[in-house]
């Protein structure tokens, strides 16, 4: 197998594969052997029929499809490892014709994590806090004390996003939009409506909805990535005991068993905890600094 990597705009990469006929045949024989295990032919017990006889009876197109699938699922992960890539989304696979006697070429387009440029989020939060103090002072009858002005989690997220610059991979945004649309379809069907009915009720087209979802997806993805980067910059740490306590608090035995069997999945929980700790840390520090300045 030969593979080359093309670097495309917006942290998108395209892997181009060429698989030789010898490698194709090796994979084809494996697929044929796997198919033979489940085949029952007259005069033979299940899985005991000769491979050549199974080949004669099997659907050639099905064997070809399974061979292509096996080639992709074998060589794509292998190439990712060899090239030290870290894709963040399922690849889009494309290929033309498949013939066992010729080189098989296919491509896998995916995305890697983009580089974020994050500005002075502390200054952004300080500016927001000062603005709220100024607004408060306009209504002295209600409140004059800075201790009643608070920075919310949403404020912290908004501030970080406001100072973040990033070019997200189009396919990453499109993938999130597709998930959002899928969830919407499920919700709409649950109340016995069609998507057309729903779109008419909000006076929008599918393109309008996709546009709205694309903006929302861009903001969500940017926020998640930026929070992760800032948490690392701020040296936010999460103890194993905090992760275990969070899983325990969910009160779901199946969830607890799942994480016990797959420790790597705890990474997701750890990331959520780290982001929450970061948000409250920045909120508290902004309020403390603001009150100190106001008291001077």
- Residue 124 confidence (pLDDT): 97
Return the domain boundaries, the chain.
2-111, 117-295
Statement: residue 267 has pLDDT above 70 = yes
Q: What is the mean pLDDT of residues 207-212?
A: 95
By three-state DSSP, how is residue 87 classified? strand
90-105 tens-digit pLDDT: 999 999 889 999 999 9
* Residue 105 host element (H or E): strand 104-111
Most confident of 25-34, 183-192, 223-232: 223-232
Q: What is the mean pLDDT of residues 175-183?
A: 95
- Residue 293 confidence (pLDDT): 77
Statement: residue 15 has pLDDT above 60 = yes
φ and ψ of 56, to 5 deg:
-65, -35
Q: Contact, 38 vs 46, CB < 8 A?
A: yes
- Residue 43 confidence (pLDDT): 66
Share of residues in the chain with pLDDT > 90 (%): 69
Q: What is the mean pLDDT of residues 70-74?
A: 96
Computed over every residue of the chain, the mean pLDDT equals: 90
Q: Do domains 2-111 and 117-295 have the same CATH topology?
A: no
The alpha carbon of residue 162 and the mean position of all alpha carbons in its chain are separated, in whole angstroms, by 22
φ and ψ of 93, to 5 deg:
-95, 135
Q: What is the mean pLDDT of residues 215-235?
A: 97
Round to whole Å and give the CA distance between 146 and 293.
10
Statement: residue 70 has pLDDT above 70 = yes
116-162 tens-digit pLDDT: 999 999 999 999 999 988 887 776 655 555 557 889 999 999 999 99
- Residue 247 confidence (pLDDT): 87
- Residue 290 confidence (pLDDT): 84
Structure token digits, residue 159 = 């501030």
**Residues in a beta bridge with 13:** 7, 110
DSSP string, 9-62: TTTEEEEEEEE-HHHHHHHHHHHHHHHHTT---TTS-TT-S-HHHHHHHS-HHH
Q: Identify the CA nearest to 171 among candidates 76, 90, 81.
A: 90
Architecture of domain 2-111: 2-Layer Sandwich (3.30)
- Residue 264 confidence (pLDDT): 80
Q: pTM for this structure?
A: 0.85
24-67 tens-digit pLDDT: 999 999 988 888 776 667 666 676 667 777 777 778 898 999 99
Q: Which CATH number, 1.10.3120.10, 2.40.50.100, 3.40.718.10, 3.20.190.10, labels domain 117-295?
A: 1.10.3120.10
């Amino acid at each position: 197998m030969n593979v080359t990597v093309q670097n495309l705009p917006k942290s998108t990469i395209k892997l181009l594969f060429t698989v030789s006929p010898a490698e194709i045949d090796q994979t084809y024989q494996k697929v044929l052997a796997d198919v033979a295990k489940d085949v029952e032919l007259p005069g033979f017990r299940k899985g005991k029929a000769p491979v050549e006889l199974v080949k004669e009876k099997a659907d050639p197109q099905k064997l070809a499809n399974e061979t292509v699938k096996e080639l992709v699922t074998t060589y794509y992960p292998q190439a990712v490892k060899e090239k030290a890539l870290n894709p963040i989304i399922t690849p889009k696979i494309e290929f033309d014709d498949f013939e066992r006697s010729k080189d098989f070429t296919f491509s896998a387009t995916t995305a890697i994590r983009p580089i974020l440029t994050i500005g002075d989020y502390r200054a952004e939060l300080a500016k927001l806090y000062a603005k709220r103090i100024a607004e408060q002072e306009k209504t002295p009858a209600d409140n004059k004390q800075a201790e009643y002005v608070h920075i919310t989690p949403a404020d912290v997220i908004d501030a970080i996003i406001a100072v973040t610059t990033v070019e997200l991979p189009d396919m990453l945004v499109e993938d999130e939009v597709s998930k959002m649309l899928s969830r919407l379809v499920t919700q709409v069907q649950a109340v016995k409506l069609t998507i057309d009915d729903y779109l008419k009720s909000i006076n929008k087209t599918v393109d309008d909805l996709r546009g709205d979802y694309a903006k929302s997806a861009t903001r969500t993805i940017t926020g998640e990535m930026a929070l992760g980067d800032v948490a690392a910059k701020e040296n936010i740490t999460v103890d194993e005991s905090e992760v275990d306590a969070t899983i325990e608090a969910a009160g779901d035995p199946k969830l607890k068993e799942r994480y016990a069997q797959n420790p790597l999945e705890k990474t997701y929980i750890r990331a959520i905890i780290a982001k929450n700790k970061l948000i409250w840390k920045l909120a508290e520090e902004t309020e403390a600094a603001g009150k100190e300045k106001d008291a001077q």
